[in-house]
Amino acid sequence: MHKLAIQGGNRLNGEVRISGAKNAALPILCASLLTPDSLHLDNVPELNDVATMRKLLQQMGVKIEQSAGQLVLSAADIDKPEAPYDMVKTMRAAILVLGPLVTRFGEALVSLPGGCAIGSRPVDLHIKGLQAMGAEIHIEHGYIHARAKRLKGARIFFDLVSVTGTENLMMAAVLADGVTVLENAAREPEVVDLAQCLIAMGARIEGAGSDTISIAGVEKLHGASHRIMPDRIESGTFLVAATAAGGDITLTDARADILDNVLEKLHEAGAVIQVAGSTINLKMNRRPRAVNLRTAPYPAFPTDMQAQFMAMNTIAEGSAMVVETIFENRFMHVQELRRLGAQIDIEGNTAVIKGCAQLEGATIMATDLRASACLVIAGLVAQGETVVDRIYHLDRGYEHIEAKLSVLGARIRRVK
């Protein structure tokens, strides 16, 4: 079990390059299933989740060549349209093979993802949408068995905004017979990145990025090249870390236009931010002010940034209220922060954080991906040494985070 040992108290200064977005790369890797031709991807982040997805696709029969952040995927023929439990349980995003497999091969056997630390995370909307498009679905022994001669276009209304639900059904619709309209669709930038890749492959999609996406099915998709967009959550994580610890950092290969909600909150906390093309500079020379947060689907404040901001709020001036409206159990980091001396009260999906002058280092445990980023930020500002355990959660979504933070001046090392 790897751990991170962090000596708190250093400011963060310097430049860090932002990697490709995990939550764009995962659906886009699955898009390779939609064509027999080769899909060339660039700027693919080297993350455990991406490695898991690669393994899953290769197990199905997809040929994958890799060199650094470049992948070439060819799904000429699949011998096993299956996603087994042992793969899906470690990475829920494996559900994203369902739509592509059914629409291209007419059949899929995908394990129901288990819940995870942050919530039960059902996939009922994915299944309902496929049924609306004519798929015959049986759920038995923990597996989704889906079959369809050819999916038909349909009008699908999402009761809840679902990012991977939107992505799964958008991919299912690109080879369906007729037009599919997704209403109350997710507007996340990663949905737009997937749509752009699919359009490059010959799909006919309008409205990606809005809450109504229409897809006119075509007979066949061809190969294409696509560069994965920068990771807005990794960007936000480094910016919050510098706001909490103080300093002067510059993100490169980043995109500010998809971070309005996060930049606005950092400005409120007292950070000075300058954007120039694909660089974002942040200066922080004061104790952060506490900021209230309410998570909601894009373009509102992202749930994936809630834990990181909470770490900043624990040492901010004043009190803050954080409301988590997306997942039912995304406060797992709170009890770990309390071990460092944070003053946080929870009432249902609302946490009230009273900023204190100083956190004290201690040994704490990561529970999920973004919670682990929160604990690293807390370790950067706590007095003395903080050891964060179970950081395999962190490696799922952050490329070489301790190396990037060390370059910025943090005293952080991985201990086996």
Binding site for ligand EPZ (CB under 6 A): 22-23, 26, 92-93, 119, 121-126, 160, 162-165, 303-304, 326-327, 369-370, 397
The distance of closest approach from Cβ of residue 128 to ligand EPZ in the complex, given in angstroms and rounded to an integer, is: 8
Residues 287, 315: Cα–Cα separation, whole Å: 8
Look up residue 155 and give its amino acid. R
The distance of closest approach from Cβ of residue 221 to ligand EPZ in the complex, given in angstroms and rounded to an integer, is: 22
Residues 217, 205: Cα–Cα separation, whole Å: 9
CB 60 within 8 A of CB 32: no
Choose between 123 and 332: whose C-beta lies nearer to ligand EPZ: 123
Residue (of 280, 281, 278, 270) closest to 248 by Cα position: 281
The distance of closest approach from Cβ of residue 160 to ligand EPZ in the complex, given in angstroms and rounded to an integer, is: 4
The distance of closest approach from Cβ of residue 328 to ligand EPZ in the complex, given in angstroms and rounded to an integer, is: 7
- Bridge pairing between strands 212-216 and 179-183: antiparallel
For the chain, report the end-to-end CA distance as a whole number of angstroms.
Answer: 6
Active site residue 116: yes
Choose between 121 and 411: whose C-beta lies nearer to ligand EPZ: 121
Choose between 22 and 333: whose C-beta lies nearer to ligand EPZ: 22
Choose between 93 and 108: whose C-beta lies nearer to ligand EPZ: 93
The distance of closest approach from Cβ of residue 295 to ligand EPZ in the complex, given in angstroms and rounded to an integer, is: 8
The distance of closest approach from Cβ of residue 203 to ligand EPZ in the complex, given in angstroms and rounded to an integer, is: 19
Choose between 25 and 315: whose C-beta lies nearer to ligand EPZ: 25
The distance of closest approach from Cβ of residue 74 to ligand EPZ in the complex, given in angstroms and rounded to an integer, is: 23
Q: Which of 30, 116, 356, 374 is catalytic?
A: 116
Choose between 26 and 241: whose C-beta lies nearer to ligand EPZ: 26
CB within 8 A of 140, min separation 6: which ones? none
Burial class (CB in 10 A: 0-12, 13-18, 19+), 29: buried
Residues 85, 113: Cα–Cα separation, whole Å: 7
β-pair partners for 74: 38, 63
CB within 8 A of 20, min separation 6: which ones? 43, 44, 45, 69, 227, 228, 229, 230, 231
CB within 8 A of 108, min separation 6: which ones? 81, 82, 83, 97, 98, 101, 102, 144, 145, 146
Choose between 113 and 341: whose C-beta lies nearer to ligand EPZ: 113
CB within 8 A of 368, min separation 6: which ones? 116, 117, 118, 330, 332, 393
Question: Which residues are catalytically annotated?
Answer: 116
